[in-house]
Amino acid sequence: MQKPIIKLRGVCKLFGQFQALYDVSFDVKLGERVVVCGPSGSGKSTMIRCINRLEEHDSGEITVDGIELTEDMENILSVRREVGMVFQQFNLFPHLTVLENLVLAPMRARKLSRTEAEKTAMEYLERVRIPDQASKYPAQLSGGQQQRVAIARSLCMKPKIMLFDEPTSALDPEMIKEVLDVMIELARDGMTMIVVTHEMGFAKTVADTMVFMDHGRIVEVAPPSTFFTSPKSDRTQLFLSQILSH
């Protein structure tokens, strides 16, 4: 049995009075593709945001690639460099060109030279199929293009793990496919991925493991074959019937 690269043990998270995560325990192995789904407010986003410590968990234990997430800033920084993240709202840096967006972190955090960083950046722009947009500003691109730039930006740090926080929710329908295609390709190359999404077609294609969350708890963990055909929990069944009916 392979050792897990991400390990969550009894993780709890409170926002004031509201319990966003309740005793979440969960493992991800190297190369595993996990799709997390559930109704809004169920704690999916909070969980993956805890993995690179954009949110601090209140209790429990999170270990990423052998490093436990504590208050130690050095540890957090090295985890963040191993873990890429793609946001719902893209969050590209609007004052920088596409290329500058991509080289910023490799140059500052990995101390690469500009030429090296730009070379890697162009490679990843090729992979997300927009090398010709390198000198444009984010505001000049379509939503789908912006999200692909955001994916390339994360990849430039050569992360071992990629987190996707509803990457297609803010996109117009005709742009969703171009982003999902890039993600599918990434999955084929063996990237460890955790994806929060409502795109069940995508989940069926790439997921090794499906996770269903509700009210801050993990309700069900199963491979897609059984998850979609014979979910154990009633809540999962209800959720799936609602989301798949249209």
Partner 1 sequence: MQRKKTKLNWIDALVVLSIAIFVIVIVRRVESVLNYTWDWSKIVPFFIYVDRETGEWTKNLMIEGLLMTMRLAVYGIVASAIIGVVMGLCRISSNLFLRMVARSYVELVRNTPPLVFIFIFYFFLSTQLMPVLGIEELARSDSPTVQWLIRILCGDPVLFSNFISGLVCLSIFEGAYITEIVRAGVQSIPRGQWEAGKAVGLSGFDVMRSVILPQAVNRIAPPLANQFITLIKDSSIVSLISIQELTFMAVEVGVSTSRIFEIWILTAAMYFVICYACVLFFNWLERRAARARR
Long-range contacts of 37-41 (CB under 8 A, 24+ apart): 37/196, 37/197, 37/198, 37/200, 37/203, 37/210, 37/211, 37/212, 37/213, 37/239, 37/243, 38/212, 38/213, 38/214, 38/219, 38/239, 39/214, 39/239
Nearer to partner 1, 84 or 144 (CB): 84
Q: Is residue 3 near partner 1 by the rule CB under 8 A? A: no
Place of tokens 């789908």: 144
Q: Write the interaction track for partner 1 spanning residues 56-75; mark x where CB under 8 A is met and - where it is not.
A: -----------------x--
**Binder among 25, 59, 91, 241 for partner 1 (CB under 8 A):** 91
**Binder among 5, 36, 85, 200 for partner 1 (CB under 8 A):** 85
Phi, psi (degrees; rounded to nearest 5) at 237 = -60, -50
Place of tokens 């789904």: 37
**Binder among 34, 99, 105, 176 for partner 1 (CB under 8 A):** 105
Give the C-alpha distances (Å, rounded to integers) separating 62 from 38, 94, 107, 206, 222.
Answer: 21, 32, 28, 25, 21
Q: Name the minimum Å distance from CB 137 to partner 1.
A: 9
Q: Is residue 211 near partner 1 by the rule CB under 8 A? A: no
Q: Is residue 77 near partner 1 by the rule CB under 8 A? A: yes
**Binder among 93, 113, 225, 244 for partner 1 (CB under 8 A):** 93
**Binder among 87, 202, 212, 239 for partner 1 (CB under 8 A):** 87
Q: Are 121 and 169 in contact (CB under 8 A)?
A: no
**Binder among 64, 153, 164, 167 for partner 1 (CB under 8 A):** 153
Partners of residue 164 on adjacent β-strands? 86, 195
Nearer to partner 1, 36 or 151 (CB): 151
Q: Is residue 80 near partner 1 by the rule CB under 8 A? A: yes
Cβ neighbours around 163 below 10 Å, total: 27
Which residues are at the interface with partner 1 (CB under 8 A)?
Answer: 52, 54, 73, 77, 80-81, 83-85, 87, 89, 91-95, 104-105, 108-110, 150, 153-154, 157
